[in-house]
Amino acid sequence: MDTIKFKNNPKEQEFYNQLKDKVFKELNGRNFYGNADFWKKGIFWSIVSYTAYAFLFSDSINKLVFWFLFLIFQLAGLLIGFSLGHDASHNTAFKSKRANAILHFFSFLTIGIDPLLWGLRHIRSHHLYANVEGSDIDIDKNPFLRLSPVHPWKNKHKYQHIYAPFVYMLALIHSVFMGDWIYLFSKDYDWMRKGISKQELYIRFIIFKILYFSLVIVLPIAFSNFSWQFVIMAYLTTGGIAALLFIIMLVGTHFFIEAAYPESNEGEIEHTWAVHQLMTSCDWNADKKWARFISGGANCHAAHHLFPNVCHTYYKKINPIIEDTTQEFNIVYHNKTLSNMMISHLKHLKEMGKR
């Protein structure tokens, strides 16, 4: 990973200082860990997901009901990760890092992506250098889509705004079966794994994958009334739909038509870290309770990037402060509806598809 520095701009630093002062005053010195709203939401999605899972083993269901229950299990399971796991990765669910690690592990079991590896790349790469080529893993080149203007153009990219949804449906399957293994073993990511022993990484990885595949494949094949071929088909198709939901809620928060894709000049980015986060992030329906409920606060992306050590259930207090303070300092703040964000993302893909 390329290590870069952010520019020391006094006006932009004053903006962030004032923003922090206002936010912490609004939060009134309370702790920033999971509150009642946080736990109610996480428990709700857990009950929905595992109740649907339990009914997979009923003797009275047909194939269509099985498939639909598997879909609910996958979708609600994804939202467990959004609601509980993401905060746990940032150590904002509990005060205890160990308790956060345990929650992170189990809340990702319905998703299948190794939580430790995901947390390492998410915090050590993406949160520091969003949208910076060579430093943000989430913007790494992929063989299907051109997401950044610094990526090489190919003829197929002319159509990427059309075929992108089908690529996105493979996102979770790719992460489970390929991405995790690359992040675990590739020497290109030694920097990401630094400080974590190989023994810990491998043991946790093996245990997690055994539990995950037992949950989603082995147990349904062994104890449901349906063939292994049908169970695998249900797993793959419902996983594709869950992946599409995952992408819809997240991809436009960084890849939208107005987003910045800064390039370092002699190892330095032209803005301060805080302003960089605002230039590369987009909120969607940030003032809507339903959006925060289903996305685990991912819709309040600016708040999350600027205050990653605050539990997402406090973002409703932070968002108005961000909006007011950015206006005061004439600093960009992107906020759209979900539909407009996705339209903006498709426009971005179309723009990146031009030679």
Tens of pLDDT, residue by residue over 155-195, are 999 999 999 999 999 999 999 999 999 999 999 889 899 99
Confidence band for 215, pLDDT divided at 50, 70 and 90 = very high
Q: In which region does residue 294 sit, left (phi positive, over 0), alpha (psi from -120 to 50) or beta (all else)? A: alpha
The reported pLDDT for the residue numbered 28 is 83
Helix ranges, the chain (H): 10-27, 36-55, 63-80, 86-89, 97-107, 115-121, 160-168, 171-174, 180-185, 190-193, 198-213, 219-223, 228-250, 273-279, 289-295, 301-306, 315-329, 338-352
Q: Which domain holds residue 297?
A: 5-352
Average pLDDT score over the chain: 93
- Mean pLDDT along residues 276-284: 96
- Mean pLDDT along residues 79-94: 95
Whether 31 shows a pLDDT value over 80: the answer reads no
Confidence band for 138, pLDDT divided at 50, 70 and 90 = confident
211 CB neighbour count, 10 Å cutoff: 14
The reported pLDDT for the residue numbered 7 is 85
Tell me the C-alpha distance between 283 and 241, whole Å.
Answer: 23
Tell me the C-alpha distance between 140 and 131, whole Å.
Answer: 9
Chain centroid to CA 17: 27
200 CB neighbour count, 10 Å cutoff: 11
The reported pLDDT for the residue numbered 337 is 97
Q: pLDDT tens digit string along 296-323?
A: 999 999 999 999 999 999 999 999 999 9
Place of tokens 């993302």: 345
The reported pLDDT for the residue numbered 1 is 64
User: Tokens representing 244?
Assistant: 């599409």
Q: pLDDT tens digit string along 46-84?
A: 999 999 999 999 999 999 999 999 999 999 999 999 999
Query: Please, which residues have CB within 8 angstroms of residue 340's CB and are 6 or more apart in sequence?
Result: 284
Tell me the C-alpha distance between 334 and 332, whole Å.
Answer: 7
- Mean pLDDT along residues 321-349: 96
Confidence band for 270, pLDDT divided at 50, 70 and 90 = confident
**How far is the CA of 18 from the CAs of 15, 21, 165, 256, 274, in angstroms?**
5, 5, 40, 28, 12
Place of tokens 């990484």: 201
Number of domains in the chain: 1
